[in-house]
Amino acid sequence: MNLRKVKLAFIANDSSRKKTFKKRKKRLLKKVKELSTFCGISACAIIYSSYDSNPEVWPSNSGMDQHKKIVDHETFLRQRIAKASEHLKRHGKDNMEQKMIEVMLQCLVGSLEIFHLNTMDLNDL
C-alpha cells in the first residue's frame, strides 16, 4: 500500500478545503473505530468544525446504547435464570388459582365436601 506524504499547508480554495476536511474527518473516525475494535479499548472522538454548528461525536448515542447493552456470558445466563424463575412462579400461582377454582366448583356441585379438605387448602380458598 503506497502511502504518500501529505503536504500540510493552508488550502486557499474554500470548496476544496471543505472537501478535504470531510475526507480527513471520515478517515480519522475510521481510525478511531479500528483502534477501539482491534485493541479492545473504549475510545471516542469529538470533532468541532466551522462548517457545522454541532460537533460530530463518535460513537453516536445509538452506538453508546448498544455498547451499554453488551453483557458477558455469565450475566446473560443469570438474567435468563431470573426470568425463567419469575415465569415459573407466575405459572405456579396461576395453577394454584385454577385448582382452587376447581375445588370451589366441586364443593358447590356437591361432589366434594369441605370437611375432607385440610386447613391449608381451606386457608387458600
* 0.85 surpassed by pTM: no
* pLDDT, tens digit, 9 for 90 and up, residues 27-46: 999 999 899 888 888 888 89
Q: Would you state the pLDDT for residue 88?
A: 97
* pLDDT, tens digit, 9 for 90 and up, residues 80-119: 999 999 999 999 999 988 988 888 888 778 776 766 666 6
Whether 95 is covered by a domain: the verdict is: yes
Whether 104 is covered by a domain: the verdict is: yes
Whether 82 is covered by a domain: the verdict is: yes
Contacts of 59 (CB under 8 A, 6+ apart): 44, 67
Whether 118 is covered by a domain: the verdict is: yes
CATH number for the domain harbouring residue 22: 3.40.1810
Q: Would you state the pLDDT for residue 43?
A: 87
- As given in the structure block, the three cell numbers for residue 76 are 446473560
Percent of the chain topping pLDDT 90: 27
Q: Answer yes or no: do 112 and 81 share one domain.
A: yes
Last residue of a domain, one of 34, 61, 88: 61
Total of domains in the chain: 2
Q: Answer yes or no: do 18 and 54 share one domain.
A: yes
Question: What's the gap between Cα 111 and its chain centre?
Answer: 54
Distance CA 42, CA 15 (A): 34
Last residue of a domain, one of 29, 61, 93: 61
What is the DSSP track for 103-122?
Answer: HHHHHHHTSS-GGGS-HHHH
Q: Which domain holds residue 52?
A: 14-61
Whether 9 is covered by a domain: the verdict is: no
Whether 79 is covered by a domain: the verdict is: yes
Residue located via cell numbers 474527518: 25
Q: Answer yes or no: do 117 and 78 share one domain.
A: yes
